[in-house]
A = this chain, B = another copy of it.
Amino acid sequence: MTSPVHVVVDRRSPVPLYFQVAQQIEVMIDRGELLPGSRLENEIVLADQLGLSRPTMRQAIQYLVDKGLLVRKRGVGTQVVHGQVKRTVELSSLFDDLRRANQHPTTEVISVAVVPVTDDVAVALHRPPGTEVVRLERLRRANDEPLAILQNWLPTGLAELTPERLEAHGLYELLRAAGVTLRVAAQRIGARAATHREATLLTERRGAPLLTMTRTTYDDSGRAVEHGSHVYRPALYSFEMALIER
B-binding segment of A149-157, A160-168, A189-197: A189-197
B-binding segment of A44-52, A107-115, A214-222: A214-222
On chain B, the residues within 8 Å of A237 by CB distance are 190
B-binding segment of A74-82, A95-103, A133-141: A74-82
On chain B, the residues within 8 Å of A192 by CB distance are 209, 234
Q: Is A228 an interface residue (CB 8 A)?
A: no
Give the residue of B215, B220, B222, B243 whose beta carbon is less than 8 angstroms from that of A80.
Answer: B222
Q: Is A242 an interface residue (CB 8 A)?
A: yes
- How many copies of this chain? 2
Q: Contact check, B234 vs A71: say whether CB atoms are below 8 A apart.
A: no
Query: With A73-B220, A220-B73 given, is the CB distance from A68 to B239 under 8 Å?
Result: no
Q: Contact check, A218 vs B71: say whether CB atoms are below 8 A apart.
A: yes
Q: Contact check, B191 vs A244: say whether CB atoms are below 8 A apart.
A: no
Q: Is A188 an interface residue (CB 8 A)?
A: yes
Q: Contact check, A242 vs B187: say whether CB atoms are below 8 A apart.
A: yes
Residue of B nearest to A78 (CB): B222
In the complex, A82 Cα to B186 Cα: how many Å? 11
Q: Is A240 an interface residue (CB 8 A)?
A: yes
> Distance (Å) between the CB of A231 and the closest chain B CB?
10
Q: Contact check, A245 vs B90: say whether CB atoms are below 8 A apart.
A: yes
Q: Contact check, B91 vs A224: say whether CB atoms are below 8 A apart.
A: no
Interchain Cβ contacts under 8 Å between A and B, 23 examples: A66-B246, A71-B219, A72-B220, A76-B220, A79-B222, A81-B184, A81-B222, A82-B218, A82-B223, A83-B218, A86-B186, A89-B241, A90-B243, A90-B245, A181-B245, A183-B244, A185-B242, A186-B240, A188-B238, A188-B241, A190-B211, A191-B238, A208-B209
Q: Which 9 A-B pairs have the closest CB atoms?
A: A209-B209, A190-B238, A191-B191, A191-B234, A191-B211, A185-B243, A73-B220, A86-B186, A91-B245
A residues near B, CB below 8 A?
36-37, 55, 63, 66, 68, 71-73, 76, 79-86, 89-91, 124, 126, 181-193, 207-211, 215-216, 218-224, 234, 237-246
